[in-house]
Amino acid sequence: MSALATSIAVLGVLLGLATVSLGASGATDASGVLLGVGALVTVLAHVLGLRPRVAATQDGIVVRNPWHTIRIPWAEVAGFEGGARMSVRLRSGDDVACWAVQKTNLYLVLDRPGRPERMSQRFATVRPTTPPGPARGATGRGVAVPWVPVATVVVVALVTVLLE
């Protein structure tokens, strides 16, 4: 995990705990709002800072971005690209962005190779050799799981109901 992601996560947890502490103590009339804001900040810190990742498995690449997870079979992967962020190039010509691997601003300003380029090379070397074309049973871009927006709505609804 990058230093920025760690900082965001720690800040989110601290802000969430401080907000919950203020709201629970009854020190303000807006304790319900403070609890809601604390919950929202904590969820956003988790989603944006801790959730993203990219993993190479035996079956393909798993790209877990803040709002969804995509599983890409090796037969659909044409390659990997660096740049400002790492992306997976599909045989169809589409790109799948990987939030977990991004270049820092210093490397962008200096126009130097950074983590996306290194990770793209590393993923290219771990790729198993597969015959070209779609794999048997391949169904497209993989499975998208949009659970985070639903979970956020549920958390906000629960906080609202509990505060009434």
9-63 residue pLDDT tens:
676 677 667 666 666 666 656 666 666 777 777 777 777 767 788 888 888 889 8
Cα distance between the two ends of the chain: 38
90-116 pLDDT, tens digit per residue, is 999 998 888 777 766 666 666 666 666
> Do 74 and 121 reside in the same domain of the chain?
yes
Q: Mean pLDDT across the stretch 134-140?
A: 44
> Do 10 and 27 reside in the same domain of the chain?
yes
> Do 39 and 107 reside in the same domain of the chain?
no
How does 122-142 read in b/e, with b if 16+ C-beta sit within 10 Å?
ebeeeeeeeeeeeeeeeeeeb
> Do 90 and 61 reside in the same domain of the chain?
yes
Q: Which two tokens stand for residue 18?
A: 């401080």
Q: Considering the domain boundaries, does residue 22 fall inside one?
A: yes
> Do 30 and 101 reside in the same domain of the chain?
no
> Do 34 and 9 reside in the same domain of the chain?
yes
Whether residue 144 has pLDDT greater than 60 = no
Number of folded domains that form the chain: 2
> Do 73 and 138 reside in the same domain of the chain?
yes
| pTM, 2 dp | 0.51
Q: What are phi and psi of 60, to 5 degrees?
A: 160, -155
Residue 120 domain boundaries: 53-146
Question: Do the Cβ atoms of 12 and 41 come closer than 8 Å?
Answer: yes
Q: Mean pLDDT across the stretch 115-138?
A: 60
Question: Do the Cβ atoms of 49 and 8 come closer than 8 Å?
Answer: yes
Q: Considering the domain boundaries, does residue 86 fall inside one?
A: yes
Question: Do the Cβ atoms of 103 and 90 come closer than 8 Å?
Answer: no
C-alpha 91/C-alpha 159 separation (Å) is 45
Question: Do the Cβ atoms of 66 and 73 come closer than 8 Å?
Answer: no
> Do 90 and 138 reside in the same domain of the chain?
yes
